[in-house]
Structure 1
Amino acid sequence: MIPTAYPDRATVARLSARMLLDIGAVHFNTETPFTHASGKQAPTYLDCRKIISYPRVRATLMDFLCCTVMEAAGLEAFDNIAGGETAGIPFAAFVAERMGLPMSYVRKKPKGYGRTAQIEGEMREGDRVLLVEDLTTDGGSKLKFVDAIRAAGASCAHTAVVFYYGAIPGTEERLAAHGLTLHYLTTWADVIAEARRGGDVDAATLAEVERFLADPEGWRAARGLA
C-alpha cells in the first residue's frame, strides 16, 4: 500500500533518529574506534541491517522513505526499484512493495558464471530506476551501482537511503555531478541531537563524536589512526 500521509521533514529526521537509537543500531566508541569497510577508523557505526528485524520500525521507516522520495521526485517518477548488493536488497523490496513497482538488484560486480549478470530480476531498457540502499557515506558505492544500471539501458537519477552520514564534504555535489539526487531520512547530526535530547549517550561521548564529525581526518591524525 502506498503511504500518502507523513510528517514534515524535520519530524521525519527526528523520529527516524529515535527509532535507530531505540533498536540499538547506533554505536559510539571513542576509546576503541570501529574499522569501516573503507579501512578507515571512526568512533561511529550505524547498523541499518538491524531495521529488518523490527517490523514496526521497519514499516514506519519504509513509509517515510517512500513519502520522502515521492514528494521530491513525483508519484509516477519510477518504473523499477533497484537494491544494491547486499544491504540495499531488503529495503528495495519493501519500497517496491509499497510503491507497487517491479524490484531488481544490482551486484557489486558481474556474476562469474551462468549469464554473468550484474543485474538480477527484470530491468527493461528505458526503465526509470530508483536505487535504494541502507545508507551512504561518501556516495562511492552508489556511483558504481548507477553505472551498472545505466549500462543496462535504464536511467537512474535518484537514490534513496535511510541514513546519510552528512559529514563528508562534497558528497551530494559528487552525486549531483553524476546526475544523481540523494534522498534520505536522517543524519549523524539528527542522531546526536536526539541522543542528547533523550539522554541515550553521555555528553562527553557525544562531544567527542561531534569533534570527529567536524574533522574526521584531523581526528584520526591526532590519534595516529588509519
Structure 2
Amino acid sequence: MATALLDAGCVSARRDEPFRLPSGWASPVYIDCRRIISFPKLRRQVVDQGLAHLRAVGALEGVEAIVGGEASGIALAAWMADALDLPLHYVRKKAAGQSQIEGVMHAGDRVLLVDDMMAGGQSKQRFCQALGAAGAQVRDLFIVFDYGTFPTQALLAPLGIRVHALASWRDVLEVARERGDFAPAILSELEVFLSDPAAWSQAHGGRAHYAAAG
C-alpha cells in the first residue's frame, strides 16, 4: 500500500518549511489520501485489502452499518458499504441542525467508522463521541493511512477503539529508501522525525503534546 500511495502522488516531503497539520502538529511529510478517488485500480486495492484485514481480525463481525467521517472518509465508506451490502451513514465534524449523523441509524447498531487517514486523532475522537451519543456502538476504526507518530492512543484508547490501517510513515520510509523516491537528506529528516515526532514538532513550531494546545 505504501508503494501504491507513492505511485499515486499522495506523499509529499520537504525540509525547508514543515507541514502544519490541522491538529497542530508539525511534520516534514504529508499524505493526501484524497487522491485515491481518481485511481480506480487503487480504489479497488484499498477496499479489497481493507476488507481482507478487517475480516482477518474479526472487526466486521456483527457490524450493521458503515460510517464515513466527513469529508474524505465518505467515499471510502461508500465503497466498503457497497462491497458489504450494508447501510451507509456519515458523521459530520460539527452538528448541522439537530444531528451530527446523516443516515437512518438505530440505537444499539454496531458500526465501523471509516476515514482516509489519521494524524493527531482529534477528529476521530469527535466522530466516535458523536456516534456514541447517537446510540451507536463503535469498536473499530479503519483508515488507509496512519501517521503512527503522534499519541492518538491517549484519545482513542479510553473510548475502546481499535485502529486498523494499511500503511504508516515507517512503511513509506522503507519503500522510498529502497526505490530512491526522495533525496537522502529528505529520508534522513524523516528518520529523525520518526525517532521522536513530538520533539521534532516542537522544534519546528508545532505542538509537543495535546495539553499544550488546550
Asked if TM exceeds 0.5, the reply is yes
Question: Runs of 5+ in structure 2 lacking a partner?
Answer: 207-214
Superposed displacement of residue 139, structure 1: 2.2
- Alignment: residue pair count: 206
Who is 1:95 aligned against? 80
Once the two structures are superposed, what CA deviation does each residue of 1:56-112 show, in whole Å capped at 9, x if it has no partner? 011101111111112112553300000111111111101111111100000111103
Q: Provide the rounded CA distance (Å) in 2 between the counterparts of 1:207 and 1:29.
A: 11
Once the two structures are superposed, what CA deviation does each residue of 1:171-195 show, in whole Å capped at 9, x if it has no partner? 2364222111111101000011011
From 102, 105, 127, give the equivalent of 1:145: 127
From 153, 164, 167, give the equivalent of 2:146: 164
Who is 1:48 aligned against? 33
Superposed displacement of residue 215, structure 1: 1.8
- Conserved in 1, the CA contact under 8 Å of 2:112 and 2:138? yes
Identical residues among aligned pairs (%):
44
Q: Which amino acid aligns with 1:61?
A: V
Superposed displacement of residue 217, structure 1: 3.4
Once the two structures are superposed, what CA deviation does each residue of 1:135-190 show, in whole Å capped at 9, x if it has no partner? 11232211211111111111111110000111124x23642221111111010000
Q: Provide the rounded CA distance (Å) in 1 between the counterparts of 2:201 and 2:138.
A: 35
Superposed displacement of residue 119, structure 1: 0.6
Who is 2:159 aligned against? 178
**What aligned pairs does 1:26-175 form with structure 2 within 5 A after superposition?**
26-112=11-97, 116-169=98-151, 171-172=152-153, 174-175=155-156
- Conserved in 1, the CA contact under 8 Å of 2:70 and 2:91? yes
Taking structure 2 as the reference length, what is the TM-score of the superposition? 0.90
- In structure 2, relative to structure 1, the CA distance for the partners of 1:45 and 1:63 (3 Å cut) is same
Q: Which amino acid aligns with 1:172?
A: Q
Question: Runs of 5+ in structure 1 lacking a partner?
Answer: 1-15
**What aligned pairs does 1:199-214 form with structure 2 within 5 A after superposition?**
199-214=180-195
Who is 1:190 aligned against? 171
- Conserved in 1, the CA contact under 8 Å of 2:67 and 2:111? yes
Once the two structures are superposed, what CA deviation does each residue of 1:98-133 show, in whole Å capped at 9, x if it has no partner? 111100000111103xxx221111111111000001
Secondary structure of the corresponding residue to residue 66 of structure 2: strand
Alpha-carbon RMSD across the aligned residues, in angstroms, is: 1.6
Which of structure 1's runs of 4+ aligned residues deviate more than 3 A?
A: 220-223
Higher strand share: 2
- Conserved in 2, the CA contact under 8 Å of 1:172 and 1:181? no
Q: Provide the rounded CA distance (Å) in 2 between the counterparts of 1:205 and 1:102.
A: 43
Q: Provide the rounded CA distance (Å) in 2 between the counterparts of 1:218 and 1:119.
A: 37
